[in-house]
């Protein structure tokens, strides 16, 4: 039987995405990008080049001047506000540098938030916590956790509702290199296990090495890195030697 690759709906497509701030600060210029379901891509680039802007446009936190964001086959700009909000709630997950775990909720309550917002049963929260190595910690509060553990909670929360697409902005930026390595291994494994496609912005070569593909944002567009990412093994020199933040 023939594989019909053209019938696969990308997790994300950006078509001709452009964004200019103020009078003439061109950040994105007709950017095209396609992310396959389950693919894990790292985006690198100089500070101020527009990496967070790109994630914000995909997340709907900012709007493009022109071009389309297509999430799991839906052209977001063609949806009304309610439908766009619903789509993002169901199909997106977020991991931030600063964790953004809510301090007054238990770990289980933090992870259950996307389930509650999507009217899904909350039992999956405890399974997801266990999957990130925090079995039995559901009643703990965030203040009892290390940075690496907080980011595990954030990863569990990002994935618990089985989104199509995870947006991660410098997810290891606040972690020491050893912890970053462990959290990234877990992030990649859990993204793959749940079938989520992932865009991870990072300026760490070691972090980018876990990705299936590395792209560089420059001059308003995404370009293939001259380096291909190495297969992500356990604590290989390439994945741990140069983790800088
Ligand atoms: N809301 C905004 N208003 C004006 N300029 C902005 C805004 N957000 C970002 N910029 C500018 O756009 C450029 C890209 O920013 P950003 O996407 O945050 O870069 P990166 O994440 O790659 O460091 C920077 O020059 C920044 O100053
Ligand atoms: Mg940024």
Q: What is the pLDDT of residues 7-34, one digit of tens each?
A: 799 999 999 999 999 988 999 999 999 9
pLDDT band, very low/low/confident/very high, at 5 (cuts 50, 70, 90): low
Three-class SS state of 242: coil
Task: Report the share of the chain in percent with pLDDT over 70.
Answer: 90
Of the chain, the end-to-end C-alpha distance in Å amounts to 48
- Tell me whether residue 5 is exposed, middle or buried, using C-beta atoms within 10 angstroms of its C-beta: 0 to 12, 13 to 18, 19 or more: exposed
pLDDT at residue 234, as a whole number: 41
Comparing CA positions, the residue from 167, 218, 182, 180 lying closest to residue 42 is 167
Closest ligand to the CA of 168 = 2
List of residues 6+ apart from 85 with CB closer than 8 A? 60
* Overall fold of domain 39-50+91-240: Rossmann fold (3.40.50)
Alpha carbons 96 and 102: distance in angstroms, whole number: 13
Question: How much distance in Å is there from the Cα of 97 to the middle of ligand 2?
Answer: 10
Residues with Cβ–ion distance below 5 A, ligand 2? 51-52
Confidence check: pLDDT of 216 > 70: yes
The pTM of the full predicted model, rounded to 2 decimals, is 0.90
- Among 17, 20, 24, 27, say which to mutate for ligand 1: greatest number of ligand atoms within 8 Å of CB: 27
Pairing of strands 74-75, 66-71: antiparallel
CA–CA distance, 76 with 72 (Å, rounded to integer): 10
Tell me the domain boundaries of the chain: 39-50+91-240
Check pLDDT > 70 for residue 1: no
Closest ligand (CA of 220): 1
Neighbours of 54 (CB within 10 A): 28
Ligand 1 atom having least distance to the Cα of 50: 17
Percent of residues, the chain, with pLDDT higher than 90: 87
Looking at ligand 1, which residue's alpha carbon is closest to its atom 4?
A: 21
Nearest atom, ligand 1, residue 55 CA: 17
> Could you give the 3-state DSSP secondary structure of residue 229?
coil
CA of 129 to the centre of ligand 2 (A): 28
Within 6 A (CB) of ligand 1 lie 21-22, 25, 27, 45, 47-53
Give CA 29 to chain center in angstroms.
22
pLDDT value at 54 more than 70: yes
pLDDT at 196 > cutoff 50: yes
For the chain, give the number of residues: 245
- 8 Å CB contact between 192 and 232: no
pLDDT exceeds cutoff 80 at 213: yes
Helix (H, G, I), strand (E, B) or coil at 76: helix
Q: What angle do CA 190, 94, 212 make, to 5 degrees?
A: 50
| Model confidence band, residue 3 (pLDDT cutoffs 50, 70, 90) | low
What are 157's two structure tokens? 């929360």
**Test site for ligand 1: of 23, 47, 52, most ligand atoms within 8 A of the Cβ:** 52
């Amino acid at each position: 039987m023939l594989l019909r690759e053209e019938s696969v709906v990308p997790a994300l497509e950006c078509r001709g995405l452009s964004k200019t701030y103020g009078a003439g600060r061109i950040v994105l210029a007709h950017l095209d990008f396609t992310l396959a379901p389950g693919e894990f891509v790292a985006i690198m680039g100089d500070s101020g080049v527009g990496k967070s802007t790109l994630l914000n446009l995909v997340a709907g936190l900012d709007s493009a001047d022109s071009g389309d964001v297509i999430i799991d086959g839906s052209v977001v700009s063609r949806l009304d506000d309610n439908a766009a909000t619903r789509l993002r709630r169901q199909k997106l997950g977020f991991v931030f540098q600063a964790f953004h775990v809510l301090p007054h909720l238990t770990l289980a309550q933090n992870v259950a938030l996307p389930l509650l917002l999507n009217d899904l049963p909350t039992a999956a929260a405890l399974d997801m916590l266990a999957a990130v190595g925090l079995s039995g910690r559901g009643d703990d509060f965030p203040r009892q956790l290390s940075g690496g553990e907080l980011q595990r909670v954030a990863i569990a929360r990002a994935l618990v509702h089985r989104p199509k697409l995870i947006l991660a902005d410098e997810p290891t930026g606040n972690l020491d290199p050893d912890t970053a390595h462990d959290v990234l291994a877990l992030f990649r494994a859990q993204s793959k296990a749940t079938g989520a496609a992932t865009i991870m912005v990072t300026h760490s070569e070691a972090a980018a090495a876990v990705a299936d593909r590395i792209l560089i944002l420059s001059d308003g567009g995404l370009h293939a890195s001259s380096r291909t990412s190495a297969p992500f093994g356990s604590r290989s020199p390439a994945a741990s030697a140069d983790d800088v933040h």
